[in-house]
Amino acid sequence: MSLHSFQQGPSQGIEANSIRSIGEATFIMLPTPEEVAVVAAMKLGQFIKDDPAGVLGLATGGTMVEPYRVLVELISSQSLKVDELTTFNLDEYYPISVENEASYRSYMNTHLFIPARFPLTPANGAQWGKTYVPYCPSEGDIEDFCDEYERAIIAAGGVGLQLLGIGENGHIGFNEPGSSADSITRIVPLDPSTRAANARFFSTPEEVPTHAITMGLSTIMASEEVLLVATGHKKIDAIKHAFFSPPTPEIPASILQHHSKVTVIIDEEIGKALPFK
């Protein structure tokens, strides 16, 4: 799998037997996390190429570092235009400073927006240029801020393609177990297991913020298309419960079984453990 096949379309070079359908979802299973990153980046790159003024939903986390690195390469080598693109990130810690390297604004600037030369006009709020991350600087306005974020997504025309990771507990964005199907952008307490999983990005576990602002499950379900990326054995159970058991609020990602256009890209470590028929 190489970036050279981008010109022929992102499914080029993927063997037919690594593509499976589970309900409405299409699974693409690739041998290594590196190949997962290339195919995920190609899918994002194809979206940008087809709709340079489109609306892309973005995610953070360890899983996305490599796909973004490849996407930056693709944007540069294929001269893809990003200045008219609007992006909305799924979530951000609360409270946090944008200067904190563990903040998702900082992550996005570092891994994608600055190296791929997205126009960024820092505004110390959610919107920098046409990139949005739900970073809320002042405590009093959180609810208004969340409503405004939701309205901004709708005003931009809605998300065309939403990139998602998945938590070990089955969360998408920071929609933790028990999140309601009709939830929209809001402030949420973080699950202790999520704070523990994300402690690796902070100097001490206590520094992990207790809350986050996240798009809701209903916000995510409103996107036209979803691309979920997962690699490594730690995500086996989350993927299994999300797509191979009846949907339940205890596994927020399982709501994606009701979405009509979902692609899941996984590595073999996960794929081999899944009960494909």
Which CB sits closer to ligand PGA, 37 or 184?
37
Concerning whether 51 is annotated as a catalytic residue, the answer is: no
Residue 169 annotated in active site: yes
Counting contacts by CB under 6 A, is residue 134 touching ligand PGA? no
Q: How many CB atoms lie within 10 A of CB 231?
A: 25
CB of 248 to ligand PGA, least distance (A): 18
Phi, psi of 267 (to 5 degrees): -90, 170
Smallest distance, Å, CB 172 to ligand PGA? 7
Interface with ligand PGA: number of residues (CB under 6 A): 6
91 a catalytic residue: yes
Taking CB under 6 A as the rule, does residue 254 contact ligand PGA?
Answer: no
CB of 162 to ligand PGA, least distance (A): 12
- For residue 99, with 0-12 CB atoms within 10 Å meaning exposed, 13-18 middle and 19 or more buried, which class applies? exposed
Element (H, E) at 198: helix 192-198
Round to whole Å and give the CA distance between 236 and 205: 25
If one asks whether residue 242 binds ligand PGA (CB under 6 A), the answer comes out as: no
167 binds ligand PGA (CB under 6 A): yes
| Residue 179 sits in the site that holds ligand PGA (CB under 6 A) | no
- Smallest separation (angstroms) from ligand PGA to the CB of 190: 10
Whether 175 is catalytic is no
Provide the β-strand partners of residue 94: 211
How far out from the chain centre does Cα 34 lie? 17
**What residues between 31 and 70 interact with ligand PGA by CB under 6 A?**
61-63
Amino acid at 78: Q
Q: Of these residues, 35, 92, 150, 171, which one is catalytic?
A: 171
Task: Note whether 252 and 171 are within 8 A (CB).
Answer: yes
Burial of 18 (0-12, 13-18, 19+ CB in 10 A): middle
Asked whether 71 and 59 are in contact (CB, 8 A), the reply is: no
Interface with ligand PGA (CB under 6 A): 61-63, 165-167
The residues assigned a catalytic role are: 91, 169, 171, 176
